[in-house]
Amino acid sequence: MNKPLAERIRPRTLEDYISQEHLVGPKGALHSQLKSGMLSSMIFWGPPGTGKTTLASIIANTSERPFYTLSAVDSGVAAVREVINRAKKSDDLFTAKNPILFIDEVHRFSKSQQDSLLGAVEKGWITLIGATTENPSFEVIPALLSRCQVYILKPFSKKDLEALLNRAIIADELLSKKKITLKETDALLRLSGGDARKLLNILELLVNSEDTSQVEITNERVQQKVQKNTVLYDKAGEQHYDIISAFIKSIRGSDPNAAVYWLARMIEGGEDVKFIARRMLILASEDIGNANPTALVIANSTFQAVNTIGYPEARIILSQCAIYLATSAKSNASYKAIGAAQQTVRQTGDLSVPLSIRNAPTKLMKELGYGEDYQYAHNYEGNFVTHEFLPEEIAGTTFYKPGNNKRESALRDYLKGLWKDKYDF
């Protein structure tokens, strides 16, 4: 039997499907669709090995629909059109059981490839189920995204992974012939990085490496059999999140040496150039902000440049940007300001806009007092006049408090000079 363990025990029904209760459980977001068989196009977003492909297959089996699969890695527009044409000829077309087209790693499809799906989805020739490990807001074109429901698959818990191991030991035709004891699982779970497929591959490797029919799984045994450095950087697993976290924290901590080291780890591991650049773009505003506004400009230019150039030359641009951000003055004042403002909005609701700063395009609005007493700043010395722009209920509230850096200290002095004692800086 050549099939790997993960494929041999792939669940065929929801009863065998482990985890994702928030989607498939009695109160799950997908429960009513599965029960009625009336499916909308959807995108599954979650870490690798969390059951996206399996869930799509179960949905097709449960709803008794034709099921077509494509991988975005090796499928082009021609392959998409071929499947759509086959789906159009299906006897179930235009019924409640129109064919399902499952596209794995849909985020790897180019804009033209995604465009080729629009008509078929909109006309109901297919029900699309896409799977992605990347944020669909960034990787799926808006026109296609608007036609799909996005469902988030959560990482497996320790309990889920241990249940999966026990199910494999009992249910698999080959493993069930041996006496396997799970004495310790910590090393297994750590090496898998929460990826169910990888977990089962490691289990199968351990079992197959033993000549006896009795196999005891311990942390020490796992370390002996599975090389610690088998995967230096797994861009789809736990390392992906740990190393990008180390990279961002190194930049935030103003350590350019650590920043370029973790950057090198990601580059050598084949990390998506857009992912790295996007995270630096966020950091430039979140952690630097108005302490150095040029940081955002450079990060944005980096994002555009690496998308155009790609590897290997993109590594130079990424390095330049990472070092610039790491050595820049830091401030999270803008980040904290919008957080505080949003919290106030949630607490106070939709407060009325003061009449003086409302728009008054009609005569009636002017008669009602819209725009009355508004003072046009440019008519005053220094282009400034004291005026209250916040709703009366929260007048004088301070959201933005300049950080302790050279540029924002100057901003603090400037604002204090304008507003005197109005705001608490």
pLDDT digits (tens, 9 = 90+) for 190-203: 888 788 888 998 89
Whether residue 92 has pLDDT greater than 70: no
Q: State the pLDDT at residue 98.
A: 82
Close Cβ partners of 300 (under 8 Å, ≥ 6 residues apart):
281, 284
Q: State the pLDDT at residue 376.
A: 87
Rg of the chain's alpha carbons, rounded to an integer?
28
Whether residue 229 has pLDDT greater than 50: no
- DSSP structure class, residue 284: I
Contact 244, 237 (CB under 8 A): no
CATH of span 354-419:
1.10.3710
CATH of span 238-326:
1.20.272.10
Q: Which residue type occupies 83?
A: V
Whether residue 326 has pLDDT greater than 70: yes
Contact 84, 128 (CB under 8 A): no
HSE-up of residue 24 (Cα within 13 Å, Cβ side):
19
pLDDT averaged over every residue in the chain: 86
Class level of CATH domain 158-225: mainly alpha
In terms of CATH, what superfamily is 20-152? P-loop containing nucleotide triphosphate hydrolases (3.40.50.300)
248 vs 367, residue with greater confidence: 248
Cis, peptide link before residue 4, omega less than 30° from 0: no
Q: Which of 50-59, 76-85, 90-99, 141-150 has the lowest mean pLDDT?
A: 90-99
Give CA–CA dist 43/266, Å, rounded.
27
Q: What is the mean pLDDT of residues 327-345?
A: 93
Q: What is the mean pLDDT of residues 296-300?
A: 97
Decide if 238-326 and 354-419 have a common fold. no
pLDDT grade for 364, boundaries at 50, 70 and 90: confident
- Would the pTM of this model clear 0.75, i.e. be above it? no
Q: State the pLDDT at residue 96.
A: 54
Q: State the pLDDT at residue 334.
A: 94
Q: State the pLDDT at residue 284.
A: 97
pLDDT grade for 413, boundaries at 50, 70 and 90: confident
Q: What is the mean pLDDT of residues 209-238?
A: 70
Give me the sheet containing 149-152, strands edge to edge. Answer: 67-71, 100-104, 127-132, 42-45, 149-152
Whether residue 105 has pLDDT greater than 70: yes
**Token duo for residue 226:** 């599975």
Q: State the pLDDT at residue 290.
A: 94
Whether residue 89 has pLDDT greater than 80: no
Q: How many helices (H) and strands (E) would you count in the chain?
A: 20, 7
Q: State the pLDDT at residue 228.
A: 45
Q: What is the mean pLDDT of residues 1-14?
A: 84
pLDDT digits (tens, 9 = 90+) for 28-83: 888 888 877 788 899 999 888 899 999 999 998 888 888 898 887 777 788 888 88
Q: State the pLDDT at residue 276.
A: 94
Q: State the pLDDT at residue 129.
A: 95
Whether residue 104 has pLDDT greater than 50: yes
Whether residue 232 has pLDDT greater than 50: no
Close Cβ partners of 75 (under 8 Å, ≥ 6 residues apart):
103, 113
pLDDT grade for 357, boundaries at 50, 70 and 90: confident
Give CA–CA dist 44/51, Å, rounded.
9
Q: How far is CA 83 from CA 68, 76, 78, 89, 231, in A?
A: 7, 11, 9, 10, 36
Q: State the pLDDT at residue 339.
A: 92
- DSSP structure class, residue 287: I
Domain ranges in the chain are 20-152, 158-225, 238-326, 354-419
SS3 71: strand
Q: State the pLDDT at residue 109.
A: 84
